[in-house]
């Protein structure tokens, strides 16, 4: 047996490279971004001027940034709700044996294996007003074409649809694993006691699925908050500001205009919003385990 002090030292040494990487790639950049957000910093000209919280005041008055916050929150809530509910329905369906189950399952999870740019290219073609698959199908049943990506009221929800198609399988897998971890005795006992299907779902299945549900909601919410790639590929943030997200705003300020101070302030605001959500969910999950 190792003496306790030396034992701990070995583990610390083994963990040290990983810790250094986490500190270097996560903690240090976080503090650096926070520090830079207090400056007016034109990267190309190399000029830096301390302005305190002025960047935050400016962006929180900026129409574009406020719209991007609203769009990001709406997207995160809508996409997460749709994906978790969709995932739950699929998980309930696949939690029972049926013919062809093993054959269908791989195709069901295929969308989440594809890269987001491939998914966006597919859906951009499907959304085309004149030649797209969706409007062609609608036309074949006598309905008019839909302005999927260029109607300012619809564009964001079209991107929700794309995200739903790609990431519902993830929620499905998490919830299916959760369902399959429920001991059979409990629903059987409830059936014996005369519980209806709905009562069984409401009073037995759902409570036991609480933690996987919260996990699915947490993962999808945090990921949705970072929405950038689909918007970049499908709409560029348009039409108008309809699909402008916080990530797009930060990208433009930071990498097109190289206004590093303003971009850093935008990043900190985004981190704060998603951080609060993550802490709330994580606390609920851990509270359930106490």
Partner 1 sequence: MKRLQFRCLSVLFLVFSLLLVGVLPGFAKAEGNLVIAGRDGGYGKALELAVRMFKAANPGVEIEQLKLPYGSLYEKLVISFREESGAYDLVMLDDTWATEYMANGWLLDLETTGFRVGDDFISTALSVGRYPYKSGSLYALPIVGNVELFAYRKDLFNKYGLGEPKTWLDVLEAAVKIDTSERDVAGVVFRGTKGNPIVTGFLPILWGFGSRVVDDKGGSGLNSPNALAALTFFLKLKRYAPQGVELYNSSEVRDALQQGDVAIAIEVWPAWIPSLDDPKVSKVVKKIEIQAAPGLISGPSPMLGAWLMGVAEDSKNRDMAVEFLQFLTSPKIQKQIALEVGIPPTRASVYKDSSLVEKYRWYPSQLKALEDAHPRPRITKWSEVEAILGDYLQLALTGSLAPEKALGEANERISAVLSR
Residues within the interface to partner 1 (CB under 8 A) = 2, 10, 13-14, 16-17, 20-21, 42-46, 64, 128-130, 145, 147, 149-150, 152, 235-242, 252, 255-259
Q: Quote the least distance from Cβ 150 to partner 1, whole Å.
A: 4
Q: Which is nearer to partner 1, 92 or 121 (CB)?
A: 121
Q: Kindly tell me which of 86 and 145 has the beta carbon lying closer to partner 1.
A: 145
In whole angstroms, how close is the CB of 153 to partner 1 at the nearest point? 10
- Do 119 and 162 contact (CB within 8 A), yes or no? yes
Cβ closest to partner 1, residue 97 vs residue 144? 144
Nearer to partner 1, 223 or 229 (CB): 229
Structure tokens at 58: 């400016």
Measured from the CB atom, the residue of 1 and 290 that comes closer to partner 1 is 1
Minimum CB–partner distance for residue 34 and partner 1 (Å): 21
Q: How far is the CB of 265 from partner 1 (least distance, A)?
A: 17
Question: Hey, what are 148's tokens?
Answer: 């999927």
Separation between Cα atoms, residue 145 and residue 133, nearest integer Å: 11
Contact predicate 70/82, CB 8 Å: no
Which of 127, 152, 158 lies closest to 240, judged by CA?
Answer: 152
State the nearest-atom distance from the C-beta of 144 to partner 1, in Å.
Answer: 11
Q: Per-residue DSSP letters for 90-135?
A: HHHHHTS--TTHHHHHHHHTGGGGS-HHHHHHHHHHHH-TTT-HHH
């Amino acid at each position: 047996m190792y003496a306790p002090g030396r034992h701990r030292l070995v583990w610390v040494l083994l963990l040290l490279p990983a810790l250094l990487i986490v500190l270097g790639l996560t903690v240090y950049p976080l503090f650096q971004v926070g520090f830079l957000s207090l400056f007016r910093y034109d990267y190309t000209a190399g000029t830096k001027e301390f302005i305190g919280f002025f960047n935050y005041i400016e962006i929180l008055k900026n129409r574009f940034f406020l719209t991007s916050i609203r769009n990001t929150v709406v997207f995160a809530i809508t996409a997460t709700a749709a994906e978790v509910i969709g995932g739950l329905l699929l998980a309930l369906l696949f939690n029972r044996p049926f013919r062809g189950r093993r054959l269908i399952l791989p195709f069901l999870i295929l969308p989440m294996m594809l890269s987001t740019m491939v998914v966006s290219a597919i859906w951009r073609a499907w959304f085309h007003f004149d030649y797209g698959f969706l409007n062609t199908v609608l036309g074949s049943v006598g309905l008019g074409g839909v302005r999927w990506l260029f109607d300012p009221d619809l564009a964001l929800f079209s991107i929700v649809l794309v995200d739903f198609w790609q990431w519902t399988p993830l929620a499905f897998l998490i919830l299916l694993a959760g369902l399959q971890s429920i001991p059979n005795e409990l629903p059987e006992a409830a059936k014996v006691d005369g519980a209806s299907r709905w009562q069984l779902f409401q009073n037995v299945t759902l409570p036991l699925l609480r933690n996987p549900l919260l996990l699915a909601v947490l993962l999808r919410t945090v990921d949705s908050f970072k929405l950038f790639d689909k918007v970049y590929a499908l709409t560029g943030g348009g039409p108008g500001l309809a699909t402008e997200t916080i990530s797009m705003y930060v990208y433009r300020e930071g990498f097109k205009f190289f206004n590093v101070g303003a971009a850093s302030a935008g990043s900190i605001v985004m981190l704060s919003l998603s951080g609060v959500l993550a802490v709330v969910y994580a606390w609920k999950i851990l509270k359930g385990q106490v």
